[in-house]
Chain A
Amino acid sequence: MSDSKSYRILNEELEEVIQKLQSEGLDVDEVVKEYQKGINLVETMEKYLKSAKNKITKIKPSKPA
């Protein structure tokens, strides 16, 4: 899995966490667990945006595919 793809997944997971926290009827253990998960995701995403780089590779198709 590449970094950027994991970013998309991280973002989806963060949205899930936020949606869960918006819902009613969570017990306090679940809230703390989701909070911890959300903060970990946020930190990974921030780190990704600071460190990842774009890479361009030129391809020469030798024959018609």
Chain B
Amino acid sequence: MFDDQGVTVSEFVEALNQAFETVFPIVNIVGELANFRVSKNKWVYFDLKDEYSSLKFFGSVFQLKGPLEDGMMLKVTSSPHLHNNYGFSMQIHNIELVGEGTLRRAAELLQIKLTKEGIFDMDRKRDLPYPPSKIALITSGQSAAYHDFVKIINSRWRGLEISFIDVQVQGEIAPSQIVQALNYFNVHSDNIDVLVLTRGGGSPEDLAAFNTEEVTRAVAASKIPTLVAIGHEIDISLAELAADKRASTPSHAAEVLVPDIRVVETNIKNSRNYLNVRTKEYINLVAQELMQQSKDLYSLTSDILADFTSLVTHRMEILRAYNPEAILNRGYSVVRKEGKVVRSSAILKLNDILDISLAKGSVSSQVKGIKS
């Protein structure tokens, strides 16, 4: 190919690119970020450098997992390429942050950016249904986190339906698997009450997935209320800040989610006692009221009866005074003709038969003479 007559520029560029593809199809390069810039919100340019060398990189904004700034240490998966006009650059396939300092700084930058968007606002936080009935669990099935969570939840509560998606919680594919699981549950929510995302503690690199923009945004966007528990007490990831509620460890997440059955059983016993005691109190109160009313009624009736008795006695005395027998006892007589009292001699005729009632006994007599 390369004979004495020479080759064209384009032929050489093409040949060089073929050689790159054969020798370095993909290469991971670690270095310090410099001259980072984004063009037209679309293209990313930066250099990676070390003490002696510097290399140019080129890619698209979609390959950025979060904000970057010069000075960060990156491991960039890329392919060498010679552009026919613009010269040599490494074409970016993937960018990873390297080292605790870089990870922390990246999380800080992302936190500032997302805070401005309101992703972590307290007024976005929703209450978790308590106790839930259906839980979606996202974690690594082989992890201590999974076993701790399940152990504690089984010791505390009953009747839960837990749907579980096994994901990688660290490494390059962890963020996309976690986001996929979050999206799956949100699409197939089927009355899920709470979505739990958890893993145990680890180094900053181990926990890096939970500080990525894609995971943090997916947690914040979840329609299902979220509980995120990553690592130990001291680590707080951006995914936890975006969650409706956070817990410090997988075990703590289980404790936050459901009550302790022993406490609940005691509470139920207390409720039963309360119902009994309160109802007895109520019924005693009503019984006392009834007794009082009955007493009042008796007392009122007695008063009325006494009044009535006194009235009757008085009337009896009056009646007694007017009793005809009393008059007869005083020597008066009652004269009747044919059963009717005779008050005047004018109605009498000679030989009429008269009945005369005395105090004791009566006399039958005949009229012998009449005086007016």
> Which residues of A does B touch, CB under 8 Å?
2-5, 7-8, 14, 17-18, 21-22, 26, 28, 31-32, 35, 38-39, 42, 45-46, 48-49, 51-61, 64-65
Q: Which of B129, B158, B272 contacts A8 (CB 8 A)?
A: B129
Residue contact A46 to B265, C-beta cutoff 8 Å: yes
CB atoms of A31 and B133 under 8 A apart = no
B224 CB → nearest A CB, Å:
13
Q: Are A61 and B131 in contact (CB under 8 A)?
A: no
User: Would you call A59 and B163 a contact (CB within 8 A)?
Assistant: yes
Given contacts A45-B268, A61-B180, A64-B180, contact A31 B158 (CB under 8 A): no
Q: How far is the CA of A54 from the CA of B130 in the complex (A)?
A: 16
A55-B162 in contact (CB<8A) = yes
Given contacts A18-B274, A52-B159, A61-B181, contact A32 B164 (CB under 8 A): no
Please report the C-alpha to C-alpha distance between residue A9 and residue B158 in the assembled complex, in whole angstroms: 15
The residue that A65 contacts in the complex, of B133, B183, B268, B282, with Cβ under 8 A, is: B183
Q: How far is the CA of A57 from the CA of B137 in the complex (A)?
A: 10
Q: A65-B180, A65-B183 are in contact. Are A3 and B286 (CB under 8 A)?
A: no
In the docked arrangement, what's the CA distance between A2 and B162, Å? 12
Contact A2 B271 (CB under 8 A): no
What residues of chain A lie closer than 8 Å to B163, measured between beta carbons? Answer: 57, 59
Contacts of B265 in A (CB 8 A): 46, 49
B96 at interface (Cβ–Cβ under 8 A)? Answer: no
A8 touches B131 (CB 8 A): yes
Give the complex CA separation of A35 and B183 in angstroms: 46
Complex CA–CA separation, A56 to B188 (angstroms): 16
Q: Which residues of B approach A to under 8 Å, CB–CB? A: 129-134, 137, 141, 150, 153-154, 157-166, 180-181, 183-184, 186-188, 191, 193, 261, 264-265, 268, 271-272, 274-275, 278-279, 282-283, 286
**In the complex, how many angstroms separate the beta carbon of A11 from the nearest chain B beta carbon?**
9
CA distance A48 to B286 in the complex (A): 35
Distance of A38 Cα from B50 Cα, bound (Å):
74
Partner of B166, one of A45, A51, A58: A58
* Nearest CB of chain B from residue A28's CB, rounded to whole Å: 5
**Chain B residues, Cβ within 8 Å of A45:** 268
Find B282's partner among A26, A58, A59, A60 (CB 8 Å cutoff).
A26
A64 to B272, CA, bound (A): 50
The one of A2, A17, A32 in contact with B159, judged by C-beta atoms closer than 8 angstroms, is A2
Residue of B nearest to A39 (CB): B275
Are A55 and B131 in contact, CB atoms less than 8 angstroms apart?
Answer: no
A14 cross-chain contacts in B, Cβ below 8 A: 271
A58 touches B164 (CB 8 A): yes
CB distance from B245 to the nearest CB of A (A): 17
Residues of B within 8 A of A52 (CB): 158-159
A57 adjacent to B154 (CB under 8 Å)? no
Q: Which 6 pairs from chain A and chain B are nearest by CB?
A: A52-B159, A4-B133, A4-B159, A5-B133, A52-B158, A61-B184
Q: Which of B133, B186, B187, B283 has the most CB of A within 10 A?
A: B133
Partner of A54, one of B162, B166, B191, B271: B162
Q: Is the CB of A4 within 8 A of B275?
A: no
Chain B residue nearest to A27 in the complex (CB)? B286
Chain B residues positioned under 8 Å from A4 (CB to CB): 131-134, 158-161
A53-B275 contact given A42-B268, A65-B183, CB 8 Å threshold? no
Distance in Å from the Cβ of B156 to the closest Cβ of chain A?
A: 10
Cβ-defined contact, B279 with A31, below 8 A: yes
**B153 touching A59, Cβ below 8 Å:** no
CA–CA, A55 to B180, complex, Å? 23
